[in-house]
Copies of this chain bind each other. A is one copy, B any other.
Amino acid sequence: MKFELLKTTGHARRGRLTLNHGCVETPIFMPVGTYGTVKGVTPQSLEDMGAQIILGNTFHLWMRPGLEVIGLFKGLHGFEKWSKPILTDSGGFQVWSLGAMRKISEEGVKFSSPVNGDKLFLTPEISIQIQTTLNSDIVMQFDECTPYEINGVLTSEKDARSSMELSLRWAKRCREEFSRLENPNALFGIVQGGMFENLREESLSALVEMDLPGYAVGGVSVGEPKDEMLRIMAHTPHRLPPNKPRYLMGVGTPEDLVAGVQSGVDMFDCVMPTRNARNGHYFTRFGDLKIRNARYKADLLPIDPTCSCYTCAGTTHAGGFSRAYLHHLDRCGEMLGPMLASIHNLHYFLNLTKEMREALDADNFCAFTTQFHANRSRGI
């Protein structure tokens, strides 16, 4: 893996990541393909909309179809027919999300398979073994996600510290397994520490000492209030080594992406574009639009007349789809509704990061952010 820092404006960065399956221009948004498919879109459509790297979820793919099947394809790329880079998470967040169904120890996490009830054990070593079979370009360390609160009680600094320290010990075990397996890809470490800036700094220092090829900020977007998320986003990323890529996990809204880049983040992922699409929630340059609203019943305009996605602009033959048509598809429960909404929303998120890259290239990132906020609050 190679990372070139092409330009810096304040904390904001323009970079280029070279991975085993290709190049990624940063800042970048990464569509989420949990089960080996970005929900509701074909790989061809992802390419058409300019996706450069997508995610896969280690935990889900381990459950279904399982490693034996993915091994036959020599990794996730061949299985899902995506030839550009892939990043996989470690499965840590998913087993943590199982709540009462899992038990965390120093060794790893014991849990029952939500698919068939089998007793399973996920450890840093096993996570790296799975990700090695997946052959993802970017491998994430196995970590424990520090909760924001448990049953309404905020996580104490003491608990956040032991959680963060456990993640650090797991990071070291991940690195050992990663090099024992001679995994040819790039292992990223994950900064934890909950909402405590001093813990974030300790986590960061220890990880930087490990000299990993890239770093993520984890444990955000886990149920904390928005201002807490923004506080950590403003605190941590720019403290990471400037010559390494920085990934903010699970974030977020278009506004979060812009704030993230301003805070020095290079990479984002979030299920929001596709999940919201399935509920008829469209993101646009001029604010969001709920297509279910009766006001769109006879609206001849496309979702966003300035958007160049297939949903809004169509092909050269026929122009884009109207809000009235998309409203109708939603009302009839037609599959084409979520399909077109997913195309639009993913295109919007990808295009937003593209516009940020262009603004950074042209040295007008500050003007871009002003215009971005004015546009978004204008209303569609």
Contacts and interface: CB of A to CB of B under 8 A. Distances in A.
Interface of A: 35-37, 39-44, 47, 64-65, 68-69, 72-73, 79-83, 297-298, 300, 310, 314-315, 317-322, 324-325, 327-329, 331-332, 334-336, 338-340
Given A35-B334, A334-B37, A83 B317 contact: yes
Contacts of A320: 81
Nearest to A317: B83
A144 to B, nearest CB: 27
Given A44-B310, A65-B328, 11 more contacts: A37-B329, A39-B335, A42-B336, A42-B339, A64-B328, A64-B332, A65-B327, A73-B300, A81-B320, A82-B318, A335-B335
Q: How many copies of the polypeptide does the oligomer hold?
A: 2
A319 B81 contact: yes
A154 to B, nearest CB: 36
Contacts of A69: 297-298, 324, 328
A360 B39 CA distance: 42
Contacts of A36: 325, 328
A325 B76 CA distance: 10
26 contacts: A35-B329, A35-B332, A36-B325, A36-B328, A37-B336, A39-B335, A39-B336, A40-B339, A42-B310, A42-B336, A43-B318, A44-B314, A44-B315, A47-B317, A64-B328, A64-B332, A65-B328, A72-B298, A73-B322, A73-B324, A79-B322, A79-B324, A80-B325, A81-B318, A81-B320, A83-B317
Given A335-B335, A338-B335, A339-B335, A81 B300 contact: no
A339 B325 CA distance: 20
